[in-house]
Amino acid sequence: DAGVTQSPTHLIKTRGQQVTLRCSPKSGHDTVSWYQQALGQGPQFIFQYYEEEERQRGNFPDRFSGHQFPNYSSELNVNALLLGDSALYLCASSGRGGTYEQYFGPGTRLTVT
Amino acid sequence: GIQVEQSPPDLILQEGANSTLRCNFSDSVNNLQWFHQNPWGQLINLFYIPSGTKQNGRLSATTVATERYSLLYISSSQTTDSGVYFCAVNQAGTALIFGKGTTLSVSS
């Protein structure tokens, strides 16, 4: 049973560029959440997708957007990258609309130069 | 929103020692999870424990929901236990809120 997968593993971008990160949830899960983890901090919630709609959003600007596909996989898009967007981006999946235990992928480490 | 506080922030142990990590939260929750983050950043699920006590090998956890705290016990620590331990909580279907973590260093 495959766990949560994310791609790419690492990414280097320049300020002002756009980036797309991808996540495939654990088999049987229908809810995907995205988190940003800066160095030395705990993960911070970006948004959650369920039934292809954004259900909840954290305190992140509109430059952060996402999408969930019919197969429950998800994308995180960040426009107009800033140096401060450099972080580990984590995807988590859960079942039953997010009611139960969440499982995390290995993350994508984004560096903005 | 819910506040999550973890203590201690840092812990240094010799191999074989026991330790207790604490997580306090400010409101009632439906879910509490403990994670271990390895050096590569992967969050490993340790326990899903909204209430009660669970054990998994050398690790055990207890959550007292009515008093809004949870404890993670590590016995006979090993160098591979090193890393950051996070407690995270949420209410039904909402985002996980993480504490700032406890950084554990186990030396041989």
Q: Which of A44, A45, A90 sits opposite B43 (nearest CB)?
A: A90
pLDDT at B105: 96
Number of C-alpha atoms within 13 angstroms, CB side, residue A59? 4
Residues facing A2 on adjacent strands: none
Bond into A8 cis (ω within 30): yes
Contact B95 A107 (CB under 8 A): no
Contact A45 B95 (CB under 8 A): yes
* pLDDT tier for residue B65 given thresholds of 50, 70 and 90: very high
Contact A58 B95 (CB under 8 A): yes
User: Which chain B residues have a beta carbon less than 8 Å from that of A64?
Assistant: none
User: Which chain A residues have a beta carbon less than 8 Å from that of B101?
Assistant: 42
Cα of B47 to nearest chain A Cα, Å: 9
Q: Are strands B83-90 and B31-37 parallel, antiparallel or unpaired?
A: antiparallel
Distance between CA atoms of A40 and A94, rounded to whole angstroms?
25
Distance between CA atoms of A89 and A46, rounded to whole angstroms?
10
pLDDT at A109 over 80: yes
Q: Give the mean pLDDT of B81-88.
A: 97
Contact B100 A42 (CB under 8 A): yes
Query: Using DSSP, how many helices (H) and how many strands (E) does chain A show?
Result: 0, 11
Residue B63 phi/psi, 5-degree rounding, is: -120, 125
- Residue B42: partners with Cβ closer than 8 Å, 6 or more residues away: A104, A106, A107
Question: Does residue B55 belong to the interface with chain A, where contact is any CB pair within 8 Å?
Answer: no
Range from A42-46, B5-9, B94-98 carrying the lowest mean pLDDT: B94-98
User: Which chain B residues have a beta carbon less than 8 Å from that of A37?
Assistant: 41
pLDDT at A100: 78
Contact A43 B30 (CB under 8 A): no
Per-residue pLDDT reduced to its tens digit, A69-84: 999 999 999 999 999 9
* pLDDT tier for residue A1 given thresholds of 50, 70 and 90: low
Assess contact for A23 and A108: CB atoms under 8 A: no
Continuous H helices in chain B: none
pLDDT at A97: 66
Q: Give the mean pLDDT of B43-49.
A: 96
Q: Give the number of A-B residue pairs with CB atoms closer than 8 Å.
A: 57
pLDDT at B79: 95
Determine the residue of chain B that is closest to A45 in CA distance: B95
The chain-wide mean pLDDT, for chain B, equals 95
* pLDDT tier for residue A99 given thresholds of 50, 70 and 90: low
